[in-house]
Amino acid sequence: MSFMDPTVVTGARNWAGVRANHPELVGRLELGLGHGDPAADAVIAEMHELGLTWPQLIAMVESDSGDLPPAARRLYVEVSTPPPWFDSAVARAGARAWWRFGTLQSSTLYQSLIYGYKAQGFVRPLVATGRLTGQVADRVQGTGRWVAEATTPGSMAPGAPGWVATIRIRLLHALIRDHLVADRSGTGAPWDVEEWGVPINQTYSALTISGGFLALPLIVAHDFGIQYSSADREAITHLWRWIGWVIGVDPDLLPTCYAEAQDLFAVAADFELEPDSDSRDLTRALLREGFDLRSAMPIPLPGPMISAMDLVMRPLLSSSFSAISTRWVEDPVAGKLGLRRTPLHHLVDVARPAVRLREVVRVMGFLGSESRVVDRELRTVRRGLGLPPTLAESAPPTEPSTRTSRIPSPMRLLSRAG
């Protein structure tokens, strides 16, 4: 869609300058602003044509009852057939490397969300659905559950829980695109594709996967003192490339190696973004309400005690998250997002020796085998997210799973997007 102005769509004032420095990569990103996910979009169009409800569609896809309509069947077959480059053993190795430090990696989710909130084009669909700052904790928990499922060793095998959850999110993104572009809410103000690009387009999807969920968490981990080997980084990249492929990102926008992910992250950081008031509202809501002390407690505590702890700890945690986040957000953008750099940002420096000591102790074998470390980290995080403790690695499925789950209403799902 050559009629779109990428500067207007993204809010990046220097788009032309960055493209001049990186013509091939930025050219692909520019094209991606006008493209959604044709395969998933066709499924949603088919859903409307057949008069299916969203829960009916998801139940059919997740159960693969054999009665899938044509577009849904094509998508199911496509995502069930890995591309030639995919190596399940490498993906498992990437998942194990990720979960050796799973508790810390899970904490980077807040930074991954802030990474998206910097961009007007990423935020705009949340604004348009009317669910800007409500149910923040639910959105964070929902995203956290998906990341945990998708990165659990073996869980992205066709039919496994992470794979199923990823397809569900892919179709949810298509549902949101349809909801906005077709003005399903009946507001009389459909999404302006010419001015804003396609909602949840290929460019923002690629940046979310390769930047927010891959490159940024590894940068944060390095700042905390975690040293991944080059083999670990490549295996983790392979895992996220596979996740991105299943969720519908254009293969041309997915990094084939960690160096390409770094390049994409670096080029994206060159754009001079202008976060607006909606970006600030989202960031403020995330810092104030994006965590649940009850789920973080290692043991159940009475409600009044949790409330009292929340009253004391929430302001401190909010200030800490804000200060620490400034370590990984460009200075001009951090100020526009309302992030304040205070001495609390040195908490990372304080934690680094303990993280490094833990790694020395782990390498020496005092924490048990790698499998036991991964299992312990997985159980801790999954318990906090309310996920079942069963690990996909212990019994990877050989056939697509027939497990279905309770499907919320479309508007509730829209409120959790992002």
pLDDT digits (tens, 9 = 90+) for 251-281: 999 999 999 999 999 999 999 988 889 899 8
Residue 393 predicted with pLDDT over 70: no
Residue 399 predicted with pLDDT over 80: no
Positive or negative: CA dihedral 113, 116, 120, 125: negative
Question: Where is average pLDDT lowest: 61-70, 109-118, 143-152, 301-310?
Answer: 301-310
Which pLDDT belongs to residue 293?
54
List the one residue out of 20, 35, 28 whose CA is nearest residue 270: 20
Residue 234 predicted with pLDDT over 90: yes
Residue 361 predicted with pLDDT over 50: yes
Residues 6+ apart with CB under 8 A from 35: 198, 201, 202, 250
The 10s digit of each residue's pLDDT in 62-82 is 886 678 899 999 999 999 999
Structure tokens at 117: 């909130």
Exposed, middle or buried, 21 (CB in 10 Å: 0-12/13-18/19+)?
Answer: exposed
Other C-beta atoms lying within 10 Å of the C-beta of residue 188:
6
Angle subtended at Cα 178 by Cα 176 and Cα 182, rounded to the nearest 5 degrees: 125
> Where would I find the H helices in 277-391?
277-289, 293-296, 303-325, 331-337, 347-363, 370-384
Residue 395 predicted with pLDDT over 70: no
Assess contact for 232 and 97: CB atoms under 8 A. yes
Residues 6+ apart with CB under 8 A from 45: 71, 178
Structure tokens at 135: 């149910």
Rounded Cα distance, 238 and 403, in Å: 26
Angle subtended at Cα 51 by Cα 49 and Cα 56, rounded to the nearest 5 degrees: 120
Assess contact for 124 and 279: CB atoms under 8 A. no
Over range 134-147, report the average pLDDT: 84
308, 312, 313, 319: CA torsion to nearest 10: 150
Rounded Cα distance, 33 and 254, in Å: 15
Q: Burial code of 25-50, b = ≥16 C-beta within 10 A, e = fewer?
A: bbebbbbbbbbbbebbbbbbebbeee
Residues 6+ apart with CB under 8 A from 349: none
Q: Read off the amino acid at residue 65.
A: S
Structure tokens at 332: 């001009």
The 10s digit of each residue's pLDDT in 292-351 is 655 554 444 455 655 565 556 678 788 988 999 999 998 889 999 999 999 999 999 999
Assess contact for 11 and 273: CB atoms under 8 A. yes
Which pLDDT belongs to residue 332?
86
Assess contact for 35 and 204: CB atoms under 8 A. no
Rounded Cα distance, 163 and 169, in Å: 10
Residue whose token pair is 């979960």: 99
pLDDT classification of 291: cutoffs 50, 70, 90: low
pLDDT classification of 153: cutoffs 50, 70, 90: very high
Assess contact for 92 and 154: CB atoms under 8 A. yes
Look at 360 and 300; give whichever has higher pLDDT.
360
Residue 390 predicted with pLDDT over 60: no
Which pLDDT belongs to residue 408?
39
Assess contact for 238 and 91: CB atoms under 8 A. yes
What percentage of the chain carries pLDDT values higher than 90? Answer: 61
Assess contact for 175 and 409: CB atoms under 8 A. no
Over range 232-247, report the average pLDDT: 98
Element (H, E) at 41: helix 38-50
Which pLDDT belongs to residue 104?
87
Which pLDDT belongs to residue 368?
92
Rounded Cα distance, 41 and 55, in Å: 16
Assess contact for 215 and 261: CB atoms under 8 A. yes
The length of the chain is 418
Structure tokens at 163: 């794979």
Structure tokens at 175: 């549902």
Assess contact for 249 and 163: CB atoms under 8 A. no
- DSSP strand E in 260-349: where? none
Which pLDDT belongs to residue 410?
39
Residue 412 predicted with pLDDT over 80: no
The 10s digit of each residue's pLDDT in 158-193 is 999 999 999 999 999 999 999 999 877 667 678 889
